[in-house]
Structure formats: C-alpha cells, structure tokens
Amino acid sequence: MKAFITGSAGFIGFHLSLKLLAAGHEVVGYDGLTPYYDVDLKRARQGILSQFETYTAVEAMLEDKHALEMSIAEAAPDVLIHLAAQAGVRYSLEHPGAYIDSNLVGTFNVLEAARATPPRHLLFASTSSVYGGNEKLPFNENDRADFPVSLYAATKKAGEALSHSYSHLFKVPTTCFRFFTVYGPWGRPDMALFKFTERILRGEAIEVYGEGQMLRDFTYIDDLVRSIELLIDCAPQEGNPVEAEGVIDTLSPVAPWRVVNIAGGQPVGLMEFIKTIERHLNVKAEKIFRPMQQGEVPATSADARLLKALTGFQPATPISFGVGEFLDWYQEYRDGKSD
C-alpha cells in the first residue's frame, strides 16, 4: 500500500508514518515544517522517517495548490490521509488567519487533489472541539455539532462539511475522525503535558486553567495510530451501514462518507492528570489556578461504540502508562539536545 500523509512531520503524522513504514508500506510525507512550534522537533521526526527507503519527504505548504496537486498526482496513493492543520484552540485567538489559510484553503486544496487523483480511501483528521457547546456527555458522532466555541473548531467542522460535499459529488470514500486530546512521546510543545513537564522540571509554577475542574478524554498516541491504521481498511460504501447493537452509524445517505470518534471514552480530571505527572517525576508542582480560557470547553468524553463496531478496537491505554512513556522520551530528547 502507498499512503500519502499530510503533516508527516507533525506529532500524529510522524507516528502514523512510522507505523506504516515499519509494517512495510510506502509513505509520501507532505509537510510545510511551519514555525508554530519548535521546527527542530519536526526535523528530528522527519530524520527518523527518512531512514526508511520507502519514505519520501515533500516540504511544501498546503496552501500551495500546484505543489500539492502535483505531489499527489505523482504519488498516485492508495490512501490519502489529511492530518496537516493549524492546531490549537488558544492560538486561534491571536492568529485567526492561519486557520483560514491552512484548515480551509489547505483542506480545499487536498480535496481538489483527491478529485483529480482519487485514492481508494480519503481520511481527514477532525477534532472533538467540533462538539463545542454541547453539554450532553459522552459526545456521540450523531450529536449536533453546530455551536463551535473556537475558530479552530469552526474550521474543522467546515472541513468535515467540505469533505462530505466532495465525497457526494465525486464518490471518493471518505472517513473523518474526531481526535480527543492526543498525547505521548514526540508530542507538541504547546500541549498541556509538554508544558507542565517543562515548567515542573525547571522549578516553575504551572498555570492550571478552568480552576483545575476540566475533564478530558485523553488518547494515547499508539492507540490513536492503531485506530487510524484499522480505519484505513474500513472505507465507507453507500448503502452499507454498520449494523451493531446500540450503534447508530454516521454513514451519509448520499455519499460514501462517515465520521468516527477516536477515543477511549474514559475521561480523566485535569488535577488527576497533573498528579500523575507529579508521581512520575517525584515532584510537587506549584500551581497557579486560572479561569477557563476563551474557546475551551469544561469537559470532553467520547462515545467510541462506532469505532469499536468498525474496527474491533477501542483505545484503552491508562494515563499512568502513557504519561510515563512521554516523560521517558522527554528527558532523553532534552538530554540529547543539550549534548
């Protein structure tokens, strides 16, 4: 199988590319290596992938329609996995244009390229943030997602809608998956686990938003990648819904398209998450409690029954293990950078 992965030097794209390469597949990785966070971290990930003869790196932006279309046409991939995006809820308050450029224009360019060079399956990364102001937990894929509370969420919901229209018009089988707070080794420096770890090890206070009352459905990176790997072989077909007890499929009535939550459905309180970091580091963190930031939601929790029905798999890695794996990687990576 040949996979074309946008965002291959990103956290999730790196792990997915590595998994597919190790399984003997060919991967073309497309990444702009933008400076949203430490580019050295992205290049280190890219360097690991480049050790595989079956990996091809393309450094270009999603907004470069010609470069993207030419790269996909040349690769003629079996599967196209669109992970690249401008991420982050808080960053969108200060740099909204980046989200329009990457998440709307960039996604449009991916869809146009898929129309010109149709893969057997197009997979698009969305987010739990699309559930926005929903108060009902757990979040089910059939719940309304019409009230985004951040620009990031709005652009991702728009991407889902765009992908559905293209799937209907051009019959490209498409799966959108909604991620829930992914964490693990090689993670992003702008995410809580990375930021908390850096500050704690430097003896600095950590800022705890939502007064520590937030709840998150954390998903360990290996579980996420395994879910995507299994979903690759679950391309939607019109008129072929999942029939499992208690599961309402999201298969479109007019297109080979569906949306799937990827999470374990076992949310953890923010303070318990911090305590897990403290236990592993054997350090008590000084905490500064802050109110909820704009664009954030108090709780996320996934209904993962559709994922389980489609793949037979559901993320289940406990926080204690996943945090420990991240901390082991973090200390090794930082030690290596200081040499």
Question: Which residues are known catalytic residues?
Answer: 152
Cα Rg, the chain, nearest whole Å: 19
Q: Which two tokens stand for residue 118?
A: 């149709």
- Amino acid making up residue 232: I
Alpha-helix runs per DSSP H in the chain? 11-22, 39-49, 65-75, 91-94, 96-99, 107-116, 151-170, 192-201, 221-232, 270-281, 305-311, 319-338
Q: Rounded to whole angstroms, how far apart are CA atoms 73 and 46?
A: 22
Q: Which two tokens stand for residue 281?
A: 């580091």
Q: Rounded to whole angstroms, how far apart are CA atoms 30 and 28?
A: 7
Q: Rounded to whole angstroms, how far apart are CA atoms 38 and 286?
A: 26
Burial of 282 (0-12, 13-18, 19+ CB in 10 A): exposed
